[in-house]
Amino acid sequence: MDRKLKDYLKQIIIPTYRNYDKGHDEAHVLKVIANSMEIAEDYNVNREMVYVIAAFHDLGMPFGRKNHHLSSAILAYYDHVLNEYFTPEQLLIIKEAIEDHRASNTTEPRSLYGKIIAEADRDLDVDTILYRTWQYGLTHDPQLDEKEQYTRCYNHLVEKYGEGGYLKLYLETEKNKAGLDALRSLLKDPAALKDRFETVVKQNKK
């Protein structure tokens, strides 16, 4: 990757995530970048575009979670530095890939780049998902007590990750398939799920 472009992303763009909630913070974007680059190794794609898409994919969170995929795409498309490095056609692919990454989207990503970022953003590690779901509840529904927080988390997990849930895997990497299978198995055992959830919460309260 071009040194100037990489420095811009690492020094200006990625540190912005430090101000975001713990489900979309710097650790998250770095993980999505790493996932994206790993997945990209199996495909004939522009690595710089993959890296940029991952770096910008949640940048628009301050403008609202509901449409963050759209605001993030706009920030990338009109970014003055990216416009120095990529053609209009490449910028459009970057923009559309970011728009298409959100798990709740009902349509398939329009390009392979969109499928890569969608797959990379899933990060289907059971404990990570439980932690992010819990953190989201604390941030957005702080009035709920512990029992209500758990109920909210459980309902969200079933709606998103359960059999027939809205989350889709378009490239079906072995890592994500295994993670989703593990989470679905846990959802079928409410007692084990609650124990795992409480363990994750306890560990992260330290």
CA torsion angle 93 65 26 197 (round to 10)? -120
**Residue ranges in the chain modelled with pLDDT below 70:** 206
Q: Which two tokens stand for residue 176?
A: 């994500």
Backbone angles phi, psi at 44, to 5 degrees: -90, 85
Q: What is the pLDDT of residue 175?
A: 87
Q: What is the pLDDT of residue 66?
A: 86
CA torsion angle 13 14 17 18 (round to 10)? -120
Distances (CA, A) of 1 to 49, 66, 117, 124, 154: 10, 32, 18, 28, 41
**CA separation for the pair 101, 97 (Å, rounded):** 6
Q: What is the pLDDT of residue 78?
A: 98
Q: What is the pLDDT of residue 98?
A: 98
Q: Name the residue ranges covered by the structural domains of the chain.
A: 3-122, 126-204
The gap from C-alpha 107 to its chain's centroid, in whole angstroms, comes to 17
Q: What is the pLDDT of residue 206?
A: 58
Q: What is the pLDDT of residue 168?
A: 86
Based on the number of CB atoms within 10 Å of its own CB, is 186 exposed (0-12), middle (13-18) or buried (19 or more)?
buried
Pick the CATH number of 3-122 from 3.30.360.10, 3.60.90.10, 1.20.120.430, 1.10.3210.10: 1.10.3210.10
